[in-house]
Amino acid sequence: MARPRTTPARLVLLVLALLLAVTGYLGVGAGRQFLADRAFTPIRVPAPTAAPPGVASLLSSASGPPAAAAARPDAPAPTPAGVAAALADELTDPELGPSVAGQVFDAGTGTLLFDQRSAEQVAPASTAKLLTAAAVLAVRQPTDRFSTRVVAGDQPGVVVLVGGGDPTLSAAGPGKPTRYAEAARITDLAARVRASLAGARVDQVLVDDSAFTGPATAPGWGTEDTPSAYASLITATMVDAGRDAPDDEIRSAEPDLAAGNALAAALGGAAVSRGSAPAGAKVLGQIRSAPVSVLVEQMMRASDNVIAEVLARQVAIATSRPASFEGAAAAVSATLASAGIKIGDGMVDGSGLSVLDRIPAAALSATLLAAVNGKQSRLRPLLSGLSIAGWDGTLLDEHRFSGPAAIAAGSVRAKTGTLTGVSGMAGLLTDADGRLLVFSFVADQAPAAFDSSSRGAVDNLVAALVRCGCR
């Protein structure tokens, strides 16, 4: 019997059905970040075995302003006219849309070489993580760690897991690699609890999440954003940056209970629910997070929204504000203002995921200049967390810095940012003469921000600076 042929109409219906299925799975929020910031598909990059050409000095140097490539302090200085000429053609690329805000500075002298709409409020997308990184490094030492405790409950057999805002606490089993480097382990915490209890049975684990307050999602986050591969509810107690298990790509709908379940499993099994630690309860065990410097680098390189939101709340706690989205945003703004970096009151979260976030693009340049300045050496993890073009993090994507822009590979360190209608990048680069420049660009009316052509247009802007001496 002959097999029925598929008619063109049926083909059209089949394609439409597949498109609807994919849209339903990814959601609008996934569309907002998707692969542009490697947020929808989390990065798992092997540790480099050797530095790419031109960045060895940055990766190994312990002092002095880090460069994207081997910058020379005696290199000829670019001029505003030269920079403007280098950028002129690329700024007209229709893939950027009609509105581009940005700045370029000579990192060595602080001279402003280019400015366009930099004082206007724009959506920063994930470049906002630069601001969160600078704020947390301003109020915390790079060596600081955050504690997670287990205390005795008010009844025999009850213990309370008290979260302290460690985003990378891991549920990985003994001997298994953690998803995030240097992460504390629930199994180690459980071992200390067992030792304290001297064999007494644990029947119930309560999870105390009171270190954070307010809503668990920010204004401007869509319902599809949590849970997703790039975001979870923000709680003070979580494992593996808001996942149910270390290898999960989609994050947890109940990250606090996921942490409680991990502890209960490590203790041999127990019921898990939410609760509060009794006042003055005996501490049965305590572990500490990776250092702040490591958390900042992980947040930056993988553009991890959950780590960013937890670190923003740590800024709020350090400055005696409520550890909520509102309190964290106010804390980051006030902390940066005290350092001369004005972002205003337009941020509503710490990651840039919200479609409501607004800052002046000049704040991104000012943050990077402060980090490059030798007097702000505690901000160094912000720079070492920047991705290297063509080498790691969010600039490793095969479509980034390709074609004519490939000349910039290894010469640019930057943080990307992408939302619907927004494509941006801010960081450091070394020009053709060996001069270190600081740049920030945000195209806030990009017609197709998630297309490789739109991201490529931003890459081309940056590559134009790498290519020229701009004199």
Domain range for 203 is 147-290
Q: Is 415 a catalytic residue?
A: no
pLDDT one-digit tens code per residue, 111-153:
999 999 999 999 999 999 999 999 999 999 999 999 999 999 9
Position 126 in a domain: yes
CA distance between the termini of the chain: 76
Q: Is 129 a catalytic residue?
A: yes
Is residue 30 pLDDT above 50, yes or no?
no
CATH number for the domain that contains residue 97: 3.40.710.10
Residues 224, 152 within the same domain: yes
Residues 401, 351 within the same domain: yes
Share of the chain above pLDDT 90, in %: 76
CA distance 126 to 427: 13
Q: Model pTM?
A: 0.87
Position 31 in a domain: no
Residues 168, 219 within the same domain: yes
User: Is residue 450 very low, low, confident or very high in pLDDT (cuts 50, 70, 90)?
Assistant: confident
118, 129, 440, 454: the active-site residue: 129
Share of the chain above pLDDT 70, in %: 84
CB of 304 within 8 A of CB of 241?
yes
* Average confidence (pLDDT) over 246-267: 98
436-443: strand order across its sheet? 112-116, 100-106, 436-443, 422-430, 412-419, 387-388
Q: What is the pLDDT of residue 54?
A: 39
303, 351, 440, 454: the active-site residue: 303
Q: Is 320 a catalytic residue?
A: no
pLDDT one-digit tens code per residue, 146-188:
999 999 999 999 999 999 999 999 999 999 999 999 999 999 9
* Average confidence (pLDDT) over 191-201: 96
Residues 205, 349 within the same domain: no
Of the candidates 261, 290, 319, which is a domain's last residue? 290
Q: What is the pLDDT of residue 374?
A: 67
Q: Mean pLDDT for the chain? A: 87
Q: How many domains does the chain have?
A: 2
Left if phi > 0, otherwise alpha if psi is -120 to 50, otherwise beta: which for 241?
Answer: left
Q: What is the pLDDT of residue 46?
A: 34
CA distance 23 to 34: 12
